[in-house]
Amino acid sequence: MVTEANGRLVGMLSMYDILLFIRPKHINIWGEMSDLELSGLFAAACRRGKGTLVGDIMTTDLTTITPDTHLLLIIDIMIKKHVRRIPVLEDDRVVGIVYLSTVFDHLLDKLTGVG
């Protein structure tokens, strides 16, 4: 989660965001050039990404919930929006995050009678 100094949530940075940025722009051209020697290219791509600002590639169109959002509504949001994690806000401040895996573990506990 990306926050401002006052704790206000301004975006999220996911693994997918970073992979998208690391992917070379012109791969559609040189991806066909299997005759060229390209060892060390992955390391070069990683080096290029080092100076990038989080704010330039983060996702800002966020869906958030509050601590009292119903669990079934959370499941509905995750399915409809294809998101695996949702920040939890209270008075515009981040108080937690709900992961898809946590929801599923909770569901399993209920189904198996553990929880």
Partner 1 sequence: MPVIDQRHVLKGLTVQEAMRRQVIHLPQEANLEQAIRYAIKFKVNAILVTDSEQRALGVVSKTDLMGAYYAGLPLVTLLAEIMVGPILFCHRHDSLDDALDLMRQSGIHRLYVLEDVPDLAVGVLAYPDIVGLLYRYCRRCERSILRLKNGGRQVEQEEHFRVRDVMTSQVTSFPEGASLMEVMEGLATYRLAAGLIKGSAGLPSGVVSKTDLILAYKHGFHAGVPAKTIMNSPVQDCDQDEYLALAIQHMIFSDIHRLFVCKGDSQEIVGVLSLSDAARFRSGTCRACLVSRIAV
Interaction between residue 51 and partner 1 (CB under 8 A): no
Interaction between residue 15 and partner 1 (CB under 8 A): no
Interaction between residue 44 and partner 1 (CB under 8 A): yes
Indicate the residue among 17 and 87 with the shorter CB distance to partner 1.
Answer: 17
Residue identified by tokens 């806000």 is 89
- The only residue of 48, 81, 84, 110 in contact with partner 1, by rule CB under 8 A: 48
Strand partners, 87: 97
58 exposure class (CB count in 10 Å sphere: 0-12, 13-18, 19+): middle
Q: Which stretch binds partner 1 (CB under 8 A): 2-10, 32-40, 86-94, 101-109?
A: 32-40
Helices (H), ranges, the chain: 15-22, 27-30, 41-49, 54-57, 71-81, 100-112
Interaction between residue 25 and partner 1 (CB under 8 A): yes
Residue identified by tokens 């800002």 is 60
Indicate the residue among 63 and 102 with the shorter CB distance to partner 1.
Answer: 63
